[in-house]
Amino acid sequence: MTPMLEMRSFICVVLMSVQFVVACMAIYNAIASFLYKIRLWKSLSAVVIAIISSAMFLASTQILSKIYYDDPINKMAEFFGRMPFALSVGITAYCAIMSVYITIRLHRCKNNNITAMSIKESFDSLPTGLCYFDKNGLVVLKNNLMESICLELTGKSLNIAMPFREKIKEVSQYENDGAFTVRLKDGRVFSFSLSETEIFSKPYFQLVATDITEFTKLTSNLEYEIGELKKVNAHLKKYNEMVYDLTREEEILRTKEAIHDRLGSTLITTRRYLENGTLPENNRGLLEMWKTNISVLNTAENDCEDENFAKDIENAAKLVGITLEIVGNLPTENNAVARVLTFATMQCLNNAARHAKADKMVLESLDDGENYIFKFKNNGKKPPAKINEGGGLSSVRKKVEQIGGSMKISTSENFVLEIKIPKSEVLQYDKSVDS
């Protein structure tokens, strides 16, 4: 084979490759033009280019077979073979340029124009499954997601809606207002809802599958956290009960110490009377001392079996030698208020006896319909203008604030401690503790 013939053969192979690519592009453009219903001249141009490129490609293969293997050629190959070489190159270049031009225009039309195919592509790319069917159950429109769900659940294509709906009801985990929840094998969760609509004055049914996978995960996590919070609340409830019991035991211990001191003083006075036969006070005073101690001891003994917190604070007052006057009715329907009031009364009694040297304290209980209001007053010496809250008063404040109340102290004339507890806050606190 001469060098010239080899060069022509090489150029023929290159042209044949270009013609094959152009033919494929032209066929694609022709099909896309018909599907997207784009201008007719573009479709016809693509068809003509596809025919010419395919014919020239087939002719080139025949010519190469003739050159290399001396095979016979058909009339079409003979026609293109007699064509001037420059003309063949020109026709191939023209077809290539036109194919590229039509491809670019088709791409712009698909992006800028709304066509039937673009609507179908958008419908199929929705993250929600959609299906429309008539009153006979015949599916008239569906997207890819709904089709894939139907294939997984029924193993069949979605053409009739009734079997698919029955399968949804069968495998659903639960129903809420007509919406069925279904979990697929890959872990996705869908909520199916059915509604009636009208299209072109004809009634149709719309079946919608909404992906609620993330919502389901968040709900599960929330339920788990709520369960953990309930456990924590149960532990806190036990802890509060333990703290209350411990505080009550501490107050009882203090009152026992006061009884011990009072009884010891009475015993010493009685011993002096028995030894000397005389007292600076009269015998009636010694007798009153013993009556008081015996009364206090009997009250303390009975208190072990008494669950009424009003008697608890009255007994505590007797134990420290303070007359307690209760004005108003104490609330008995709420345990949280009773615990706080008992603790606050014992602290006020202790402070009145130790610091104010008082022998009388007034507990005023008010109810304005929205709040419990308690005021503690004593007849002891006037307190300083500013009171530093020690362990007792600060503990009272913490307990009051724990159930949503507030506490304030006034020292203008006498010591006055006021506690205000909103009923709504106490109700919420009881519900949180009980849960």
Over residues 331-378, the pLDDT tens digits come to 877 777 888 888 888 888 878 877 788 889 999 999 888 889 999 998
Q: Supply the angle between the helices 40-69 and 75-82 in degrees, to the nearest 10.
A: 90
Average pLDDT value over all residues in the chain: 78
Per-residue three-class SS string for 131-145: EEECCCCEEEEECHH
Q: Residue 307: exposed, middle, or buried by beta-carbon count in 10 A (0-12, 13-18, 19+)?
A: exposed
> What pTM did the predictor assign?
0.40
Strand 416-422 with 371-378, pairing: antiparallel
What percent helix, strand, coil does the chain show, rounded to 5? 60, 15, 20
Residue, of 171 and 47, whose pLDDT is higher: 171
The reported pLDDT for the residue numbered 292 is: 67
**Bridge partner residues of 425 (DSSP):** none
Give yes or no for residue 386 having a pLDDT over 60.
yes
Question: CA-to-CA distance for 399 and 389, rounded, in angstroms?
Answer: 14
Residue, of 217 and 306, whose pLDDT is higher: 217
Give yes or no for residue 20 having a pLDDT over 70.
yes
Domains of the chain in start order, with CATH, are 3-118 (no CATH), 126-211 (3.30.450.20), 221-434 (3.30.565.10)
The reported pLDDT for the residue numbered 303 is: 46
The reported pLDDT for the residue numbered 204 is: 93
Per-residue three-class SS string for 364-379: EEEECCCEEEEEEEEC
